[in-house]
Amino acid sequence: MKKLLLILAFCTAMFAQVTKAVEVPYISYEIKMGKGFDEVNANCLMCHSFGYITNQGPQSRAFWKGKVDKMITHFKAPIAKGDAEIIVNYLAKHYGNGK
């Protein structure tokens, strides 16, 4: 019986670190303002932070078009055709590499 109690006490201690909800900090990843920002803000935050975008570094228009297409075809992002174009223009302008 003594042994059993010891084991129980041990188990409780091990779980002590997550006894209530943990809180993942909110980070507002800096993103450039400009034409198309509203569309990006409305369409690109549903599934992940802007960190996913800025982390890519400056890239070509074709790259950004490919990413927006990927979001729509593979991840089923509900983005209207017109918005997709505006977003690609925004990304190519503010996160572009001139190509």
Nearer to ligand HEC (CB atom), residue 9 or residue 51: 51
Considering CB distances under 5 to 8 angstroms, the limit depending on partner class, which of another protein, ligand HEC, none binds residue 87?
Answer: ligand HEC
Phi (first) and psi of residue 53, to 5 degrees = -80, -50
Interaction of residue 10 with another protein, rule CB under 8 A: no
Q: How many whole angstroms separate alpha carbon 4 and alpha carbon 11?
A: 11
Considering CB distances under 5 to 8 angstroms, the limit depending on partner class, which of another protein, ligand HEC, none binds residue 27?
Answer: another protein
Nearer to another protein (CB atom), residue 73 or residue 82: 73
Q: How many whole angstroms separate alpha carbon 87 and alpha carbon 65?
A: 9
User: What's the closest the beta carbon of residue 8 comes to another protein, in angstroms?
Assistant: 11
Q: How many whole angstroms separate alpha carbon 43 and alpha carbon 48?
A: 10
